[in-house]
Structure 1
């Protein structure tokens, strides 16, 4: 990297800064940083201290210039992606909390209506996922993503006016279609700007924001039920959707300014010329290529290589396994031990577990330099929880609660799975966009119909096959991640699929 010339834009900016200076120092990465106060340009050795600093936080062992750039990128990119995903996941959790807080009775819902509501959202999500990723090869993410979020915010508020379950079905379908852009679009955006040493932590912090949203939803619903129920003729669950939509509008406006597209095409005003040069250098150093046109050749390469197929299976399995904790509130309500407020608040402990484990998996994977084993560990803990629920010790409430809380442990590791996709396909922006879109679409297509078989609402909370199937899904996730780990060492993904020399 040290021998690569900087882009012309950077050289011109440096020259303008000091016309008399012949050689303006380049912004240096960790690989180029000085090893002494005298400015010795020999590469620093990867000492134990530097390794520890890199595990604690990945910018601590970088040069001051690169550290400042990463801090600026974190301020704009991470702030936006976390609050944007927070409000999206707030909506998904609001549906569950609204259902147990009066929506079921007000809309006359019964039987499998709750599952159908989830399925309509999922169908819309599936239909919007891959097209959104493909559109982002033509339309700037800084325009596309916040525009969809603005429309999404309006539709979320409209849910408060629905009078029957059929109207809610229609709205959940379109909200799912609009929301489909968020997760894959953000994961792709993070892959455009962060190196493999930085991507795991950022992706997991991003996922942790969804757990925070789920915690917040419980407290928000409990507060609204206590203080806003019946205000201006609206039930507490209706106020829940109104607040969610109101929060989303300023976040969508922030997106128009915060999203920087890619280092090679960005027009973000918060980036100066030296920032762009630094960003491009960093991506070139790890093999990330500038965006190109999506061609049939790229599609053929995707279809004839293993990542799109092998990653689709464990991603779908983790989605199907994680679906189980959506029924925790229904179980709590069925015990008749808790008030409505308590039913909304108790699951926030599980979401707290998600925040802690998401960060734990990120730091652990960076410390061990292994994504595979960390994902397997996370899946195993959730599988243990599902085994307890499969036994269903209904007279041992403590054991049931332990089983439910263990099911929350895997969610944070899902970000590491797509981080692996970003890292393996770093050679092509287009492949990353399409493959992430296909993986997400496949996962949610499976999710749309499997839950109808596994979680019949009429059987709640003791599902005959749901708990056993969740156990199986977490086991399959771990098995396929191990297979992916082997394939990543044996075969190198790329435009030409070749065996790596041992």
Structure 2
């Protein structure tokens, strides 16, 4: 076959090792310049925003173990109820926020949410009671609700299959990096600012979080792009850039916003196997993340009243960051393998990670809880391996629901809503604070759920493959320059010369 000129809307798999490392090296100069602008704005400010969001989300745990518990007399399950109050606000705001996003420009709606949670994070520094913490955390959750699914939705509106996994991975790495930053930040604040100006160290954490968050939120208004379907030329993206974006998404089968919301539309979403199965996966997500939360309590449990501490406050805050670092590195490795050597196939890495998670959770359940650091800590450190598949799961969802922007937004919000709905009660039943770190029943349940995830992900892969074959019979698949859905084991041998990704499944 004669060589073809590089397509402006390239979505073919990378054939060189440079293309596997970073996809823009294999595209035309014009598209490379466009992708640079997109990465420098959307990916950069999206990742920074995700970083500050998760710092503001996770700082309550650092504050709790660094003096807030004692200062506000938070005993029993009050910590769990504080987490639940944030979760309730987060759940309430999910679907409305993402539906608004399909009608309000992203560069307005997303920074508005950032400013909102920043203001109330500042307010947490002045909280004087358990009730005040409950109310403020609820409002913080309400403003943070739409941010995570909104960014995944916007990323899925700009990037094609060879690019999306890596960008999702970079974005999600902020979720792992945030606790690392927050842990060392809290350690530094506790040692350097505790008691300064009459404020306890844990109060300074909220103040500094707000100081970091505010300028990023303001700058996001000027730098974050809207989606290709709603974007207008501005000081960063030219008319030609927007044309390139729309051509790329058309070739990937990604449809812009514009379909009206009706009762029938919502019912169609709710009866779609794609929406149902991806949402089902995320309802089980809290089981995959909860075993790791016991790490900080395990460290603190070694310190007995009246005896010299085994672990200092700084160590209690810092050691769990090793697990966050592992999750970030492992997740990024997986998305690069999926986008590169696996040519966009999501399911192999996802299934492997969940199988490994079963082993880890089982070991957490059957081995002694208290003991030397070297016996138990490594299991906590790698226990988030199943949860690290979030970027690939979100990329897979966006690729399978390419032809309906509203359904993608609805599904992303539904996934996150159900995830946090279950997160509101799973810790209260399986991982209660009063039992920490002795949560063996929760670890057993996590192992069972990881097995259930394998069944659901396998079902998704098989249904996607079946739908792909049906579309091929009807000649509805895009050309080889587009991105067909990655083959399952049954058809990989017949698809060696076909690029990955599907226009719509």
Tell whether the structures are fold-level matches, with TM greater than 0.5. Answer: yes
- 1:383 touches 1:407 (CA, 8 Å); kept in 2? no
Write out aligned runs for 1:102-501 (5 A).
102-267=67-232, 268-296=234-262, 297-336=264-303, 337-366=310-339, 367-369=341-343, 370-393=345-368, 394-395=370-371, 397-491=373-467
1:499 Cα deviation after fit: 13
- 1:130 touches 1:434 (CA, 8 Å); kept in 2? yes
Taking the aligned partners of 2:214 and 2:422, their CA distance within structure 1 comes to 31
1:271 Cα deviation after fit: 0.4
Taking the aligned partners of 1:345 and 1:232, their CA distance within structure 2 comes to 25
Write out aligned runs for 1:10-49 (5 A).
28-30=8-10
- 1:114 touches 1:457 (CA, 8 Å); kept in 2? yes
Taking the aligned partners of 1:392 and 1:182, their CA distance within structure 2 comes to 39
Aligned length: 461
- 1:137 touches 1:294 (CA, 8 Å); kept in 2? no
Q: Indicate the larger mover: 395-404 or 58-67.
A: 395-404
Structure 2: unaligned runs, 5 residues or longer: 304-309, 478-490, 492-505
Alpha-carbon RMSD: 2.3
Distance 1:134 1:396, change over 3 A: same
Deviations 1:320-363 (A, max 9, x none): 32122122111111122210011111111111101111111101
Taking the aligned partners of 1:177 and 1:493, their CA distance within structure 2 comes to 42
Taking the aligned partners of 2:327 and 2:188, their CA distance within structure 1 comes to 22
Q: Match of 1:12?
A: none
Q: Indicate the larger mover: 442-451 or 51-60.
A: 51-60
- 1:425 touches 1:493 (CA, 8 Å); kept in 2? no
1:438 Cα deviation after fit: 1.1
1:450 Cα deviation after fit: 1.7
**TM-score between the two structures when normalised by the length of structure 2:** 0.87
Taking the aligned partners of 1:154 and 1:104, their CA distance within structure 2 comes to 23
Taking the aligned partners of 1:27 and 1:489, their CA distance within structure 2 comes to 27
Taking the aligned partners of 2:201 and 2:219, their CA distance within structure 1 comes to 28
1:418 Cα deviation after fit: 1.0
- 1:307 touches 1:421 (CA, 8 Å); kept in 2? yes
SS at match of 1:208: helix
Structure 1: unaligned runs, 5 residues or longer: 1-24, 32-44
Distance 1:494 1:128, change over 3 A: farther
Taking the aligned partners of 1:95 and 1:384, their CA distance within structure 2 comes to 30
Distance 1:283 1:415, change over 3 A: same
Is structure 2 residue 38 aligned with structure 1 residue 63? no
Q: Indicate the larger mover: 144-153 or 260-269.
A: 260-269
